[in-house]
Chains A and B, each alone.
Chain A
Amino acid sequence: MNLNIKRRSTKSLTTGSLIETYPHDLQLYKIPPIDNISLQEFESLALERLNLLRCLATATTLKNLRPYSNEWREYIITELRNKGLKYYAKLCDKSACGNTEMDLQARRKDHIAHFILRLAYCRTEELRRWFIARELELFRMRFMTMNTESVDTFFKLNNLCYLNIPDEEKNNIIHYLRESTAYQNVDNMKFYKVKFYEVLDLVKLRKVYLHGGYAYIPHKDFVSVLSAQFRVHLKQSLAVACHHLGEIEQDERLVSLLKSLHQTYTGNDYTNTKAIIPIESLDSLSVKSFPLCMRQLHEQLRMAHHLKHLGRLQYGLFLKGIGVTLEDSLRFWREEFTKIMELDKFEKQYAYNIRYNYGKEGNKKNYSPYSCLKIINSPVGAQDCSGCPYRHCDVSNLKNKLQGYGFDPQTVHDIVDITKKGHFQVACSKYFDAVHNIDLGLGINHPNQYFEESQKYLKGEIKIEPKKENNSIPKESITDIHEMDLDEIVEG
């Protein structure tokens, strides 16, 4: 990859050469871009594609939509439009070979952004796996929505030539093709012969006729062949990219951007909140409106009167995000910490950090509360209570904890089960449902979002039929802060 990053963007390529470079909406990304782009464009392209890929992930894991189904696609396209990513929405909606300036620019962005993300996601096996899975989904989705004409052009442009089997051969095996192919009107389709290992996904599901080591596939199933090749190609390229990272990363700013990209949170950042939450309500809020990660930090603080650095950061910023004022926050931490230390020590060692979180010390940056992604990906020490409990707790501990909170065995089992499969945020959403005794299936991606959704629900802004089963949460813990007497507390 040969991207020159300039402070300001130099002239972009002329439309004429863009047509040659980008004749088709769908690309195999074989050749890296050689554009000059500004650091700013670099960053925004990266974030936009990140948004796109996350959108795919959300559709599958959080929204529980079947990949490649119509609902799945519609959700993604609407989501992209809502996020202002019109060009991706268009590329995903119907890949074709138009050549308006808009088409060409969209393809150029698609091309460059794909390669930027390769750099950001080649670092670890886990990142690579995530990236490959998403890019493959994207590729498949786009291939599947193409019309026959665009498919033909795509094959021609990419020099993919396969010969369909002669009619005579087809007639001899037509009976088997009808039996073993997953489509209705097999008789009218042209069939192609590829080695069985080129369409493993079809073999696995027994959706293709196999004979003598060959798979007989109709045109439609070529997406399997292509995505298999795409996967192999991408896997190798990522391995190569990882090897050459050192050469690319001479620019400090690039390094930090690329390194932290996968942890970048792309939604609301909850830096500025308007609500004011009195600290006296935290005990009850922690039970009914905190996600488990924050509830556990709160309980730890109350119990041990202390939290380690990361825990203080994670919890402190969260509190800021829900609307605890700086003054309240200082008072809150002070009350706890001074149970085990001298006031003097607290003021010297800890108060600074709290003011720092609120942007009152150091570089005066107004820090944002951590997103799930950041919390889930952050390292957690053996004794720490920070992190995401679904990610960082032993399954048995998690189970005990949930049982201790009084959830019924089925709920505990469900949450633990999802956790085991690695869907931490889905588990979190299940926990939300259990606490509120509803069946909402929210997509959780930020602890503060969790909190807001919970408050919305408790204030009746979301109307949902409560689940009919028995209440598993102790009644007394459900009190709304709006029923409390706030007079004496608000002045801090």
Chain B
Amino acid sequence: MVKQQYDANLLPDMLPIYYTRHFPQKIFCRWLAYGCSPQPLSNREMSFTLADDVYLRYLSISNQKELQELLQKKCPYKLDIGAVYNTKPSVGRHNAVVLARELVFDIDLTDYDEIRTCCQEAKVCEKCWLFMVIACEIIDKTLREDFGFQCILWVFSGRRGIHCWVSDYEARILDSPGRGAIASYLCLIAGGENQSKKVHLGNENLHTSIRRSLNIIDNYFEQLLQEQDFFATSEGLNAFLKLIPDETLRSQVAKKLEKLPQSSLERWTSFVSTYEAYCRENGNAMRKLKYLTEEIKIQYCYPRLDVNVTTGFNHLLKSPFSIHPKTGKVSIVFKSSNVKNFKLDEVPTINTLLDDMSTDSSVHQNNMKEAVKTFQEVVFLCEKTEAMRKRNNANTSIEF
């Protein structure tokens, strides 16, 4: 048996079958409706990207039957999901008011290009996927523990990133400043291309959430150092040295590291001991450089969010189980607790799903099933919390 190559030209033939047989239409509709609160399913905007890059906005459906019809008629290459409006989006268009929208996060590996050494731009491999693992764990924990959100859906973007959809009622109706505040709470890396050091933690106590994130980073830091080998090349080493603001310390470190073998792990250990010794001798530096190692770890590991996606109230985001037209991969849903075991080449693609004979078929079929199941679980949780919220509301309003 030959491993079938994915061929985008076959999409028009494959998509109708995929949408009918594999796309979890029913559960998808239930997800977007949330028990009709605050508005019916038909007020939710969807958009399609068609074969020739034609972009259809302001679509909407009222039930699964309409979804199936629309999918068959238009055969979209890509599916995006927008906000819930006060009226049917096709009617209201620009005047419609956004009433609700999941709180979303978009993390893309291209934002890691300045630090990842294995791939650049559209490329990804198992090594750089580790960045996504760390990002997912940190964001998931923060959302659950700090903000108390429960209905959190994690989705593979189809190529080189991940999306997170928070569906708790409070998150869905949060306004733009609220979303902005959460995004800033989560952002630790700031500054453009002309700024080397992008993380500044000050010298007071570290916030609980930052400590927790650092603990997560520590679980992966050594592995990342070994795989990415950040400081092996002279370029990488220079970039690293630029992060040390204190000149004396910087030249000390530079001298030490030059003599060492190129392994990043060894170089890092040596840096840490030099830094610690330096701080012991020099109380003043200690105060200024209090969190230098933490700052550097964060710069090399911490999630790099696309803040605009999170802040915007009506940003469109690729739907779960949409096909990535360039890779043929399905945007599968996964569990954050299981993100460590996520394997890029085990992500189902449209052709393996449709071709029972392909080598990867059984693994892919299985993973697709798992993904749908995970999706289902989240949707059930959403419905349950929504029902509870309504009951509580009813109770409190009786009191008055």
Residue ranges of A at the interface with B (Cβ–Cβ < 8 Å): 176, 178-180, 182, 195-197, 200-201, 203-206, 209-214
How many B residues, CB 8 Å from partner?
A: 22
B residues in contact with A180, CB < 8 Å: 205, 207-209
Q: Which residues of B contact A200 (CB under 8 A)?
A: 177-178, 181
Instruction: Determine which of B148, B205, B210 lies in contact with A212 in the assembled complex, contact meaning CB atoms within 8 Å.
Output: B148
Give the residue of B149, B174, B184, B208 whose beta carbon is less than 8 angstroms from that of A205: B184
Known: A211-B145, A214-B148. 8 other contacts (CB 8 A): A179-B211, A180-B208, A196-B147, A204-B180, A204-B181, A206-B207, A209-B208, A211-B148
- Is B185 among interface residues, defined by CB-CB distance under 8 A? yes
Q: Does B56 reach chain A (CB closer than 8 Å)? A: no
Binary interface profile of B, 164-186, with partner A (CB < 8 Å = 1, else 0)? 00000010001001101110110
Residues of B whose CB lies within 8 Å of any CB of A are 145-149, 170, 174, 177-178, 180-182, 184-185, 204-211
Among all A-B residue pairs, the 3 with the closest Cβ atoms? A213-B148, A212-B148, A210-B146
What is the minimal beta-carbon distance from B302 to any residue of chain A, in angstroms?
Answer: 13
Looking at B145, B177, B181, B210, the one whose CB has the most chain A CB atoms below 10 A away is B181
Query: When the two chains form their complex, are residues A211 and B146 in contact, meaning their CB atoms are under 8 A apart?
Result: yes
Chain B residue at minimum C-beta to C-beta distance from A199: B181
- Docked Cα-Cα span, A182 to B184, in Å, equals 17
Query: Which chain A residues border B145 with CB–CB below 8 Å?
Result: 211-212
B184 to chain A, nearest CB (A): 5
- CB–CB B147/A210 < 8 A: yes
| Interface residue from B174, B184, B211 paired with A204 (Cβ < 8 Å) | B184
Query: In whole angstroms, what is the CA distance A204 to B185 when docked?
Result: 5
A264–B341 alpha-carbon span in the complex (Å): 66
5 contacts between A and B (CB under 8 A): A197-B170, A197-B174, A201-B181, A204-B185, A209-B208
Q: Residue B185 contacts which of A179, A182, A203 (CB distance < 8 angstroms)?
A: A203
A364 CA to B311 CA, complexed, in Å: 55
Q: How far is the CA of A178 from the CA of B177 in the complex (A)?
A: 27
Contact call B184/A179, Cβ cutoff below 8 A:
no
Alpha-carbon distance between A214 and B210 when the two chains are bound, in angstroms: 17
User: Count the A-B residue pairs with Cβ separation under 8 angstroms: how many?
Assistant: 53
Shortest B212–chain A CB gap in Å is 10
Cα–Cα, bound, A178→B207 (Å): 9
Residue pair B185, A213 in contact (C-beta under 8 Å): no
A209 to B209, CA, bound (A): 9
Q: Which residues of A contact B148 (CB under 8 A)?
A: 196, 211-214
> Which residues on A sit within 8 Å (CB–CB) of B184?
203-206
Q: Are B207 and A203 in contact (CB under 8 A)?
A: no
Chain B's nearest CB lies how many Å from the CB of A346?
50
Checking A176, A195, A213 against B149 with a beta-carbon cut-off of 8 angstroms, the contacting residue is A213
* Chain B residues closer than 8 Å to A179, beta-carbon distance: 205-208, 211
CB-CB nearest in chain B for A205: B184
B residues less than 8 Å from A176 (CB atoms): 208
Give Cα distance in the complex from A176 to B182, angstroms.
19
A179 CB → nearest B CB, Å: 5
A155 to B180 CA separation, bound complex (whole angstroms): 29
Q: How far is the CB of B123 from chain A (nearest CB, A)?
A: 34
B177 to chain A: which residues have CB within 8 Å?
200
Q: Report the minimum CB–CB distance from A358 to chain B (whole Å).
A: 50
- Which residue in B178, B180, B209 is a CB contact (below 8 Å) of A206? B209
Please report the C-alpha to C-alpha distance between residue A387 and residue B205 in the assembled complex, in whole angstroms. 50
Contacts of A209 in B (CB 8 A): 208
- Point out the residues of chain B lying under 8 angstroms from A213, CB to CB: 147-149, 170
Complex contact B209–A203 (CB within 8 A)? no
**Of all chain A residues, which has the CB nearest B147?**
A213
Residues of B within 8 A of A197 (CB): 170, 174, 178
Which chain B residues lie closer than 8 Å to A182 at the CB level?
204
CA distance A197 to B178 in the complex (A): 7
Query: Which residue of the partner chain A has the closest CB to B188?
Result: A206
Residues of A within 8 A of B147 (CB): 196, 210, 213
- Given A210-B146, A212-B145, A213-B147, do A203 and B208 touch, yes or no (CB 8 Å)? no
Instruction: Give the complex CA separation of A462 and B55 in angstroms.
Output: 63
In the complex, what residue of chain A is closest to B177 when comparing beta carbons?
A200
- A179, B211: Cα distance in complex, Å: 9
Give the residues in chain A near B174, CB-CB below 8 Å.
197
